[in-house]
């Protein structure tokens, strides 16, 4: 049976391309709507783009490290300890 | 005329009346009572509506201002949407309990004094515990008991604070408190327990996901948001709340990223979102307080929508873990679309309700030159998209094909989701009615070109980070230890160690004293046994001799004392 159109490799390639265009256009548009009202770091070019990506990368890596310490099997409390 | 009817008590009464009802009468009351409460909340005049006295203290059980109307309104809307969603719920306890819970939450918002507030506060704990308990599972029962204990503890702390405040000032009025006495710290502590603030945040992700598919929808709305309401009224501008809020924001993100249970992901994100509100309350400017209040309003709606979507998946599949789900978009398109709208709203995507509310808190930080706070809020906004905005819909509806082909849920559930999805988009586009309801006049335009572009950059590049780093986010059959470990694992283990020590000590003391007693008995036996000296038969002549000795001693003693 043909897989659902949304999960075909061709569709996924297309979605990635559209996503790349969307990403690029949010950065390009900033040339036209820039507002110098912010101060400090927030004033840097494409702040949302680099800061959003960077913040997420840091959060994911931090969560990963945190998980190494505190992750337990999901039946951890099932032994009737609680 | 409207002031004769208290919308909170109306819902509590409807909850009690619902208990014996069945069929269409039950459905009619489930929808009509909250609808009447909504109309009533909108029609109520501002000011003190009921006055009285209790134990010699003046009380104001019913008072309305802009802030209380805003919260009472969204609680009533929530009762309507939640009631509609839960119409197919088989449990006969859940809906009545949820209405008592919703009514008492409205009671808290309309309470003009601390005593009334406290009574409704505790009634909420009872109602919500029953909602969790009515799930009917063993895990649900145990979670409801843990939940009740934490909330009763919070209630005791709050009561101690209120008693201290009333003793010191003689006033029962619910006003703004300064952190200048132990009583006020206790009141703040009591409020923060319900807000899900650390170190008591774990009760929320522990208990909420154990409720039924419809119960969690109710739970997400009232307890934490009444806490936001009382903090808005009692502690606006308390700087400590900025720090507490920021901790909650990042706590929620990190734990949600690690979580596998879809409803627990959303539970952690409640803590995260309440964190944004607390930051706003802590900043304390009119813009910040408006932002916190507006965000509470929009949050209740989109979080309910997200949990309705998750609840529908649970209802249809009986599964709650991301590792068991995936690919449901094929057969649950409406649930997927509504869940995605909720996910976009929580992420503050432009044209959704979250965008017009959360932006105000960030703007308040910017206006107050709190650059670090603003940067952290921006990072957190990216993190929200990561943990709730994409992660929830991706792992539940897309990722791999789990092979499950469940249909969309029954029409009442679909209608409730559509209603709340419409509100999420509607408030994002037509935000003026919401802004008009806020406690202070609003001078803010959310849709400026620069703001929309900045937000889109932040969110879309967060999305890029999610997909680039997807292998690191692979779900595993795990939980992440939280502060509930202290009372679920460490506490019982310590109690067992102490129990063992007491048993050992008890054995030692008893065996020791028994040994002493035995030795004593043995000693006595040697002297007093039936064959020992005192038990032997003695002749009369010997006894006479002894009497003579005694008399002689007596005479000697007598003469000695005469001299």
Q: What is the DSSP string of B406-447?
A: PPP--HHHHHHHHHHHHHHHHHHH--HHHHHHSSS-----S-
pLDDT for residue A82 is more than 60: no
Would you list the DSSP string of B505-562?
Answer: HHHHHHHHHHHHHHHHHHHHHHHHSTTSGGGS---HHHHHHHHHHHHHHHHHHHHHHH
- DSSP symbols for B460-474: HHHHHHHHHTGGGG-
Residue B173 backbone dihedrals phi, psi, to 5 degrees: -65, 140
Contact with chain A for residue B377, Cβ under 8 A: no
**CB-based contact A59 B386, cutoff 8 Å:** yes
pLDDT, residue A37, reads 61
- CA B281 – CA A38 distance, rounded (Å): 22
Determine the pLDDT at residue A7.
80
Cα separation of A23 and B462, whole Å?
Answer: 10
Residue B42 pLDDT: 94
**For residue B151, what pLDDT band results from cuts at 50, 70 and 90?**
very high
Question: If DSSP codes are grouped into helix, strand and coil, which group holds residue B53?
Answer: strand
Give Cα B232 to chain centroid, integer Å.
17
Nearest Cα of chain B lies from the Cα of A72 at a distance, in angstroms, of 5
Taking only residues 343 to 362 of chain B, the set having a beta carbon closer than 8 angstroms to any beta carbon of chain A reads: none
The band of B375, judged by pLDDT with boundaries at 50, 70 and 90, is: very high
Among residues B192, B202, B321, which one has the least CA distance to residue B255? B202
A62 in Cβ contact with B250 (< 8 Å): no
Query: 3-state SS string over B278-307?
Result: HHHHHHCCHHHHHHHHHHHHHHHHHHHHHH
Of B250, B196, B285, residue with least CA distance to B378: B250
Residue B536 above 80 pLDDT? no
- Which residues in chain B have their CB less than 8 angstroms from residue A53's CB? 461-462, 464-465
When pLDDT is averaged across residues A64-68 and rounded to a whole number, the result is 89
Which whole number is the average pLDDT over B155-174?
94
Q: Mean pLDDT throughout B12-29?
A: 93
Confidence of residue B3 (pLDDT cuts 50, 70, 90): confident
For B93-145, give the DSSP string. THHHHHHHHHHHHHHHHT--BHHHHHHHHHHHHHHHHHHHHTT--HHHHHHHH
The pLDDT confidence band at residue B440, using thresholds 50, 70 and 90, is: very high
Alpha helices for B173-318 (secondary structure H): 182-195, 203-207, 215-234, 240-258, 262-283, 286-317
Q: What is the pLDDT, as a whole number, of residue A34?
A: 72
Using an 8 Å CB-CB cutoff, list chain B residues near A47.
Answer: 454, 457
Q: How many CB pairs under 8 A join A and B?
A: 155
Mean pLDDT of B344-372: 92
Q: Is B492 on the interface with A (CB under 8 A)?
A: yes
Mean pLDDT of the region B231-250: 95
Cis amide linkage into residue B199, ω under 30° from 0:
yes
Instruction: Please state the ipTM of this predicted complex.
Output: 0.92
From the list A7, A53, A62, the residue facing B464 with the nearest CB is A53
- C-alpha to C-alpha distances, B262 to B127, B212, B269, nearest whole angstrom: 24, 14, 11
- B525 pLDDT band (50/70/90 cuts)? confident
Which of B150, B254, B377 to mutate against chain A (most A CBs within 10 Å)? B254
Average pLDDT over residues B299-319: 94
Reported as a single tens digit per residue, the pLDDT across B396-408 is: 999 888 888 898 8
pLDDT in tens, B461-481: 999 999 999 888 887 888 888
Residues 6+ away with beta carbon under 8 Å from B136: B91, B212
* Nearest-Cα residue of chain B relative to residue A61: B472
Q: Taking a C-beta distance cutoff of 8 angstroms, is the pair B450, B313 a contact?
A: no
Percent of chain B with pLDDT over 70: 99
CA distance B423 to B407: 24
Chain B residues inside the 8 Å CB shell of A35: 448-451
| Distances B391 to B29, B227, B401 between C-alpha atoms, Å | 37, 27, 16
Average pLDDT over residues B362-377: 91
The rounded distance, in Å, linking the Cα atoms of B171 and B165 is: 8
Residue A77's Cα: distance from chain center in Å?
Answer: 32
**Rounded distance, CA B375 to CA B458, Å?**
12
Q: Which helix (H) or strand (E) holds B48?
A: strand B47-54
The pLDDT score that the predictor gives to residue A80 is: 56
**What is the predicted pLDDT for the residue at A1?**
66
Mean pLDDT of B241-267: 93
Q: State how far the alpha carbon of B486 is from the alpha carbons of B257, B352, B481, in Å.
A: 22, 39, 10
**Worst-scoring range by mean pLDDT, A30-39, B84-93, B152-161, B273-282?**
A30-39
Q: How confident is the model at residue B563 (pLDDT cuts 50, 70, 90)?
A: low
Average pLDDT rounded to a whole number, residues B190-198 = 94
- Which of B12, B44, B46, B43 lies closest to B29 in space, CA to CA? B12
pLDDT at position A40 is 76
B422 reaches A (C-beta below 8 A)? no
Q: CB neighbours of B554 closer than 8 A, spacing ≥ 6?
A: none
The answer to whether residues B434 and B294 touch, using CB atoms and an 8 Å cutoff, is yes
Here the tokens at position A10 are 């061709």
Residues 6+ apart with CB under 8 A from B456: A26, A48, B350
pLDDT at B196 over 60: yes
Subunit contact B458:A32, Cβ cutoff 8 A? no
pLDDT in tens, A33-52: 877 666 677 778 888 899 99
- Point out the residue among A46, A62, A77 whose CB comes nearest to the CB of B457: A46
The arithmetic mean of pLDDT across residues B531-535, rounded, is: 71
The per-residue pLDDT of chain B, averaged, comes to: 92
The residues with which B478 forms a beta bridge, in sequence order, are A73
At B199, is the secondary structure helix, strand, or coil? Answer: coil
CA dihedral B405, B410, B411, B415 (to 10 degrees): -80
Asked whether the predicted pLDDT for residue B132 surpasses 60, the reply is yes
Is residue B505 within 8 angstroms of chain A, CB to CB? Answer: no
Whether residue B378 is predicted with pLDDT greater than 70 in this model: the reply is yes
């Amino acid at each position: 049976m043909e897989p659902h159109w949304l999960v075909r490799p061709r569709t996924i390639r297309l979605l990635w391309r559209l996503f790349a265009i969307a990403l690029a256009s949010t950065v390009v548009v900033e040339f036209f709507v820039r507002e110098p009202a912010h101060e400090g770091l927030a004033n840097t070019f494409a702040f949302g783009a680099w800061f959003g990506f960077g913040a997420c990368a840091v959060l994911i890596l931090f969560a990963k490290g945190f998980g190494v310490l505190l992750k337990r099997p999901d039946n951890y409390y099932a032994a009737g300890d609680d | 005329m409207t002031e004769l009817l208290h919308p909170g008590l109306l819902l509590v009464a409807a909850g009690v009346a619902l208990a014996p009802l069945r069929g269409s009468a039950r459905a009619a009351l489930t929808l009509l009572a909250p609808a009447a409460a909504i109309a009533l909340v909108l029609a109520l005049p501002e000011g003190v509506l009921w006055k009285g006295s209790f134990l010699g203290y003046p009380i104001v059980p019913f008072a309305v201002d802009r802030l209380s109307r805003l919260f009472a309104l969204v609680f009533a809307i929530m009762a309507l949407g939640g009631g509609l969603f839960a119409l197919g719920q088989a449990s006969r306890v859940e809906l009545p309990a949820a209405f008592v819970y919703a009514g008492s939450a409205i009671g808290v918002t309309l309470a003009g004094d601390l005593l009334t507030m406290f009574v409704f506060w505790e009634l909420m704990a009872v109602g919500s515990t029953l909602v969790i308990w009515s799930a009917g599972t063993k895990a649900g029962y145990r979670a409801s008991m843990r939940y009740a204990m934490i909330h009763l503890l919070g209630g005791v702390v709050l009561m101690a604070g209120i008693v201290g405040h009333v003793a010191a000032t003689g006033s029962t009025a619910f006003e703004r408190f300064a952190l200048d006495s132990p009583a006020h710290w206790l009141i703040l502590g009591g409020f923060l327990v319900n807000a899900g603030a650390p170190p008591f945040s774990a009760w929320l992700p522990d208990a909420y996901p154990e409720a039924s598919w419809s119960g969690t929808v109710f739970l997400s709305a009232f307890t934490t948001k009444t806490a936001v309401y009382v903090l808005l009224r009692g502690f606006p501008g308390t700087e400590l709340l900025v720090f507490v809020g920021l901790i909650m924001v990042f706590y929620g993100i990190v734990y949600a990223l690690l979580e596998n249970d879809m409803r627990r992901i959303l539970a952690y994100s409640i803590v995260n979102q309440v964190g944004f509100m607390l930051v706003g309350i802590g900043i304390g400017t009119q813009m910040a307080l408006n932002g916190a209040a507006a965000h509470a309003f929009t949050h209740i709606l989109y979080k309910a929508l997200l949990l309705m979507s998750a609840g529908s998946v649970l209802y249809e599949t009986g599964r709650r873990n991301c590792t068991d789900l995936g690919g449901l978009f094929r057969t649950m398109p409406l649930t997927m679309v509504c869940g995605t709208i909720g996910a976009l709203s929580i992420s503050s995507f432009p044209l959704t309700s979250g965008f017009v509310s959360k932006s105000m808190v960030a703007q308040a930080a910017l206006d107050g030159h709190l650059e670090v706070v603003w940067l952290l809020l921006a990072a957190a906004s990216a993190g929200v998209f990561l943990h709730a905005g994409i992660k929830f819909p991706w792992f539940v509806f897309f990722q791999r094909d789990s092979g499950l082909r469940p249909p969309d849920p029954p029409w009442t559930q679909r209608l409730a989701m559509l209603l709340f999805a419409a509100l999420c988009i509607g408030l994002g586009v037509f935000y003026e009615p919401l802004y008009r309801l806020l406690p202070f006049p609003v001078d803010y335009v959310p849709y400026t070109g620069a703001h929309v572009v900045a937000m889109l950059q932040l969110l879309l590049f967060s999305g890029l980070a999610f997909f680039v780093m997807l292998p690191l986010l692979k779900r595993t059959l795990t939980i992440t230890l939280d502060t509930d470990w202290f009372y679920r694992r460490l506490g019982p283990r310590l109690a067992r160690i102490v129990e063992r020590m007491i048993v050992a000590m008890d054995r030692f003391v008893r065996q020791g004293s028994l040994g002493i007693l035995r030795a004593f008995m043995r000693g006595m036996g040697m002297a007093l046994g039936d064959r020992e000296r005192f038990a032997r038969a003695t002749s009369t002549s010997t006894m006479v001799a002894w009497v003579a000795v005694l008399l002689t001693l007596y005479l000697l003693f007598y003469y000695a004392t005469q001299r």
